[in-house]
A = this chain, B = another copy of it.
Amino acid sequence: MPEKTMRDAINEALHQAMTEDDSVFVIGEDVAGCQGAEGETGSVGGVFGVTGGIYNKWPDRCIDTPISESAIVGAAAGAALVGMRPVAEIMFADFIGVCMDQIINQMGKFRYMFGGKSKCPAVIRFASGGGFSAAGQHSQAMYQVMTSFPGLKVVIPSNAYDAKGLMLTAIQDDDPVLFFEPKVLYQETAEVPDEMYTIPFGEANFVREGDDVTVVAFGQMVPKAAAAIDALADEGISCDLIDPRTSSPLDTGAILESVEATGRLVVVDEAPPRCGLTADIAGLAADKAFKSLKGPIKQVCAPHSPTPFAPELEAAYIPDAGKITAAIKETLA
């Protein structure tokens, strides 16, 4: 199978969905690029390059916008309400701050408030998370916050293969989907089939299988957790590594089954600790798998601080394999 980067895998999904379905369009800042300028329109394809080539094929369905995130999300939500399948790009997940109402109070609540008589099949894409020394306002995961809101689905791919399949699912899904792309993974490659395929929401991926500890990790933490777990094999410790892939819906069945088998749980995420996904899953297990638990549930996450700028500080901020290893050992102690 061909190797592709996560960026290219998502781009391919967009191209294929747009080929298949006229109602799909992309919208966002510089998703085409050079609008109104002398340079060639379409030559940008998004600041992270994820929408490359779309304008050239479908100029009418590649909508560049002013810097107006509320209007971007609103435009996607409104178009979706009347039957289109927009894929909007919000450049950095941190910018949810300037468009949150349109996401949580509008798009995410239409169906419920309207008594189940509408659908809003919009996808909003975000480049998410740390790893670029981009400091406090350009490094946040944000998906943990969005998981809190009913009416939204939340996707966090951890590799190129999943990214393509999840994006195709997202576009076909009839509910609003928030799609968080860990930007530090854009250049990472995996084997990605050329044809279209989907990955169902709410179905976790077992990245590793083992007996001693269940490790649940999200997004860019998945490869780090895998590295930690692989190194522990030498010490005779074997772990399940579960990548939920979607935090809403969450595959609680897979997590609980694994914890029931291992009796031990470590949850890993890059967001700060309070009211995040690590607590969310720890809380789930502490209720529903309580009887099986043999050790404390450990959460590995960033500290309760904004993301710092300096590379050394950021490296200390984002959980690494060392911290994951330590947590696995602690729950076994």
* Residues of A in contact with B (beta carbons under 8 Å apart): 70, 94-98, 100-105, 108-109, 112-113, 135-137, 144-145, 147-151, 247-248, 250, 271-272, 274-280, 282-288, 290-291, 293, 295-299, 303-306, 308-309
Task: Known contacts A100-B97, A109-B136, A305-B112; decide if A275 and B286 are in contact (CB<8 Å).
Answer: no
In the complex, the chain B residue whose C-beta lies closest to that of A108 is B306
In the docked arrangement, what's the CA distance between A145 and B101, Å?
13
Complex contact B296–A286 (CB within 8 A)? yes
Least distance between A89 CB and chain B CB atoms (Å): 18
| Nearest Cβ on chain B to A262's Cβ, whole angstroms | 15
Given contacts A286-B285, A287-B297, contact A148 B145 (CB under 8 A): yes
Known: A97-B104, A147-B275, A285-B286. 12 other contacts (CB 8 A): A97-B100, A97-B103, A112-B306, A145-B275, A148-B272, A148-B275, A274-B280, A276-B280, A279-B284, A282-B286, A287-B298, A288-B296
Residues in B with CB closer than 8 Å to A276 are 148, 275, 280
In the A-B complex, the 8 residue pairs with the smallest Cβ-Cβ separation, listed nearest first, are A97-B101, A279-B283, A282-B283, A286-B286, A290-B296, A286-B297, A148-B275, A97-B100
> A97-B104, A306-B113 are contacts. A148–B137 as well, Cβ < 8 Å?
no
8 sample A-B contacts, Cβ–Cβ < 8 Å, listed by A number: A145-B145, A145-B275, A149-B272, A150-B274, A279-B279, A279-B284, A282-B287, A287-B296
Q: Which of B100, B105, B275 contacts A277 (CB 8 A)?
A: B275
Whether the pair B272, A275 counts as a contact (CB closer than 8 A) is: no
Least CB distance from A141 to B in Å reads: 10
Partner of A287, one of B95, B109, B148, B299: B299
Chain B hits for A109, CB < 8 A: 136-137, 306
- Interchain CA distance A101-B280 in the complex, whole Å: 24
Query: For the complex, what is the distance from the CA of A112 to the CA of B140, rounded to whole Å?
Result: 15
A280 CA to B298 CA, complexed, in Å: 13
Question: Inside 8 A of A287's CB, which chain B residues have their CB?
Answer: 282, 296-299
Give complex CA distance A290, B272 in Å.
Answer: 22
Measured in the bound complex, the distance between the Cα atoms of B304 and A275 in whole Å is 15
Residues of B within 8 A of A108 (CB): 306
Task: Choose among B96, B137, B150, B285 the residue that contacts A305 (Cβ–Cβ < 8 A).
Answer: B150
Asked whether, in the complex, the Cβ of A105 is within 8 Å of the Cβ of B136, the reply is yes
Does the CB pair B271–A148 fall under 8 Å? yes
B residues less than 8 Å from A284 (CB atoms): 279
Give the residue name and chain of the B residue nearest to A285 (CB).
B286
Tell me if B144 and A275 are in contact (CB < 8 A). Answer: yes
A312 to B95, CA, bound (A): 37
B283 touches A297 (CB 8 A): yes
Bound CA–CA A150/B273 (angstroms): 9
**A277 and B109 alpha carbons, distance in the complex (Å):** 22
Determine which of B100, B283, B308 lies in contact with A283 in the assembled complex, contact meaning CB atoms within 8 Å: B283
Separation of A108 and B305 alpha carbons in the complex (Å): 10
Measured CB to CB, the closest approach of chain B to A322, in angstroms, equals 19
